[in-house]
Structure 1
Amino acid sequence: MESAQSQSPELNLIERIAVSILRRQNSRDQPEVHRWPAQELAQIRRLERSAVLLAALSGMISGALIGGLEVWLNVTMPDASESWARWIEYWVIFLAGSILVSVVEILFLYWVVLRRVARITSIAGLHLSEQEIDQVIAIGLSRSALDMPDPRQPIYGIDPYARVPRWRLIAYAILYRLKIGATSFITRVLLRRVLARAAVRVFIPLIAIVIYAVWNAIIIGWVMRASRVRAAGPLAVQELGQRLQAERTRLDEPTRRLLLEAVAEAIQSGGTAHPNLQLLLGRLFQELAIPPGSLTLDWAVHHDALADLPPEVQDLLLALVTVTTILDGRPRRAQKRFLKRLYAACGRRFDARFTATVYRDFFHGQGIGALRGEA
């Protein structure tokens, strides 16, 4: 079987630094993955809120500095538009100052997020060593902290992006690069163009301060949410693996393959190579004793076999696919449609509220308790 480490992409310098920081800040000597009690969940929420507040504050400060620079340039260089030389000098100074402030701001945001993500991993009982599974977790968390997209490569022979149009992948890549830094500058330029001849032009620097603060808060809120999902993943995968261990004696090889084919279909319906899915597939291939790369990845061939499965095996399959659809965040529409078809094929009624409950418990660090009928 391919190791989890061999599935991990080569890291660039920034990622290596981020992983190193996470490991240094994580205080655990041994893993102790567990469900998060109310006190720990409250700690995690406080860490998330503090990151958002600091991000908003840094946005206000950077916006004020850049706005102050613009005001100073307008006062000291009122004739900048009268000659090319003065215009170029104006924009060179403005862009140099804006870039310097933005770089310092982004480094500060990375520092804020990495420290808090490391603390969350410690609370969640994760140990970020260089062992295979820990390496997958550490890299995944560093990518979420840096707000970087997941690598576009197959996971254990399954390509999550096989059905994603190329134009959408390109659009995702552009959006990721515009989230921090560039967006604020572009918004500022648009404001200047739209309001250039309006009486409120003098207030553009003040408006920019608000935009910087709100945008930073939104982005870091997303980052912290994504990091919590990745921190909650190992527990859900562990509990699902334990359920498989308890039930695999009743599973023959065709049934085990059917389970993996359903999981693969759910992953390809989601269109993302989330590190939690990498952890899940590594555990499933191991527990079900199926070699990676041996699946047909053609769900239409297997769909009709669902009705013949025993009810307890249908329960297991539905649990596996439900967990698969929430491990990278809320289920996508295509994944919900796939779940509905699975429930219908098993003669069951799909309950969207139950799936939402499973996700809520997972996001709150309670593993897959809802799938086990726990309160």
Structure 2
Amino acid sequence: MSQSTLTTKKSNFQRKNPAGFLEDRGVKYYQYLAKKAGSTNVETLVAIDDLPSDDSLCSAANNITRLAAFIAFSIGALTTIVSVWFEWKYAGRLDDFLYYTGYLLVISAMLALEMTVLFWLGLRTVHQLACLTGHHDLHDDPFLTDAYTVPNMLARAALEVPDPVIHYLGIDPLKHVPKSGLLFIGLLYKAKVLLSSLFIKFVCVRVFGKGGSRLGFAWVAIPVTGIWDAVVMYKVAREARLRLFGNRLARHITDEIMQPEFISQLSAKAKEGTIRAVATMMVLSQNHHPNMLVLLIELCKNFETDERCEYDNWADFLTLLNEVSLRERYFILDLLSVSAAFDGHLSRLERHHLRQAFGEQTEVYMLRIEALKQALLSGRLHKAKQLCLLDFEPG
């Protein structure tokens, strides 16, 4: 691909909002960890076939996840003990102003400590998982916007920062989400991040029980907060694994499967259908998951695109399926099923519309999607690679 074409395609990226403070700090710390591990400035990834077996990868990933969850439980419980101890020690022994002022200061300090440790733990956990899959701090790919380099994607997963809205080829993954729904999702996310631990530490203690029974209930907040933090860390590790394996598979598909001799078998319509298969799944999934965008970006390295084309139009995609040969149709359906699994779940829209495309092969393709989802989430990269086979056969 010529440099001018590369520059033009990269210019199609439009990040609606720049990286926030947390993401920026997270990327810098991730880069520090990568440099400390001696993994920066590495130009190539280790081939999937050269990585350890699925059993070894799965076992190591589970051990990393369990340790992170245990540490998260511990920090949640320990910081809560301090606030509960303060209440047990001074409730009814200080005047209201001093008591509530002190209580608020203690809770704020412990919450700040808890969040800081959890952010640190999340970043270290995703870096350890990245080392398992052979990922490195890749800055040499001129095609990727900085929003979707490995450090940025993993920093957002570790800090539970939402993925940015990226407009690429006119594709809008949120086109079917009502504006009111977007507002509700945004408010719900911010409330979860800012108030979840505070809610457990403070609100629940106030709502349940009075007097002595209230103090008794306060101690219950210790394991509850610990469990909550452990669950959050588990979800962080789970999302990091999904992003890492999806990123590897996207590169496998484009670098190892989409070779010139393979592409030469495709008609112009089939090449267009390749882009449409991923674009339509991005819209039907109704999110900006990086796995799907990276797959689309990598595919666009091998295919010419038209900015005037509405690639995310489902009706046009169904029409195209009837215009290509039967062999090409099966190839496009293979890629459609892979794309549907890449974000780790199937939305209601995906489940409804995919049946229209799969037709008589619906059952076999849906089973393939489910198997690929489970392989990605469980850390079985070699099995996931096998399920990403793109041939010209049904299923």
TM-score (norm 1): 0.88
Specify the alignment match of 2:376 in structure 1.
Answer: 362
Deviates more, 1:312-321 or 1:106-115: 312-321
What RMSD in Å do the two structures reach over aligned CA positions? Answer: 2.5
Specify the alignment match of 2:77 in structure 1.
Answer: 60
Distance 1:25 1:189, change over 3 A: closer
Candidates 40, 44, 47, aligned match of 2:64: 47
Specify the alignment match of 2:4 in structure 1.
Answer: none
Q: Kindly indicate whether the alpha-carbon contact (under 8 Å) linking 1:158 and 1:293 is maintained by their aligned counterparts in 2.
A: no
Q: Report the alpha carbon displacement of residue 20 of structure 1 after superposing the two structures with TM.
A: 1.5
2:29 is aligned with 1:21: yes
2:261 is aligned with 1:261: no
Specify the alignment match of 2:343 in structure 1.
Answer: 328
Aligned equivalents of 1:134, 1:93: Cα separation in 2 = 47
Deviates more, 1:160-169 or 1:241-250: 241-250
Deviates more, 1:196-205 or 1:112-121: 196-205
Distance 1:150 1:32, change over 3 A: same
Distance 1:298 1:199, change over 3 A: same
Aligned equivalents of 1:219, 1:293: Cα separation in 2 = 42
Specify the alignment match of 1:216 in structure 2.
Answer: 229
Aligned equivalents of 1:281, 1:225: Cα separation in 2 = 22
Mapping 1:155-174, distance limit 5 Å: 155-174=168-187
Specify the alignment match of 2:5 in structure 1.
Answer: none
Candidates 89, 113, 135, aligned match of 1:104: 113
Q: Report the alpha carbon displacement of residue 297 of structure 1 after superposing the two structures with TM.
A: 3.2
Mapping 1:87-102, distance limit 5 Å: 89-102=98-111
Q: Kindly indicate whether the alpha-carbon contact (under 8 Å) linking 1:48 and 1:221 is maintained by their aligned counterparts in 2.
A: yes
Alignment length, in residue pairs? 364
Candidates 3, 6, 10, aligned match of 1:3: 10
Specify the alignment match of 1:83 in structure 2.
Answer: none
- Identical-pair percentage: 20
- What is the one-letter code of the residue matched to 1:65? V
Specify the alignment match of 2:248 in structure 1.
Answer: 235
Aligned equivalents of 2:240, 2:33: Cα separation in 1 = 15
2:301 is aligned with 1:309: no
Aligned equivalents of 1:270, 1:69: Cα separation in 2 = 47
- What is the one-letter code of the residue matched to 2:234? G
Q: Kindly indicate whether the alpha-carbon contact (under 8 Å) linking 2:169 and 2:311 is maintained by their aligned counterparts in 1.
A: no
Q: Report the alpha carbon displacement of residue 179 of structure 1 after superposing the two structures with TM.
A: 3.1
Q: Kindly indicate whether the alpha-carbon contact (under 8 Å) linking 2:340 and 2:346 is maintained by their aligned counterparts in 1.
A: yes
2:296 is aligned with 1:284: no
Q: Kindly indicate whether the alpha-carbon contact (under 8 Å) linking 1:262 and 1:299 is maintained by their aligned counterparts in 2.
A: no
- What is the one-letter code of the residue matched to 2:10? S
- What is the one-letter code of the residue matched to 1:360? Q
Gapped runs of 5+ residues in structure 1?
81-85
Aligned equivalents of 2:228, 2:206: Cα separation in 1 = 20
2:348 is aligned with 1:353: no
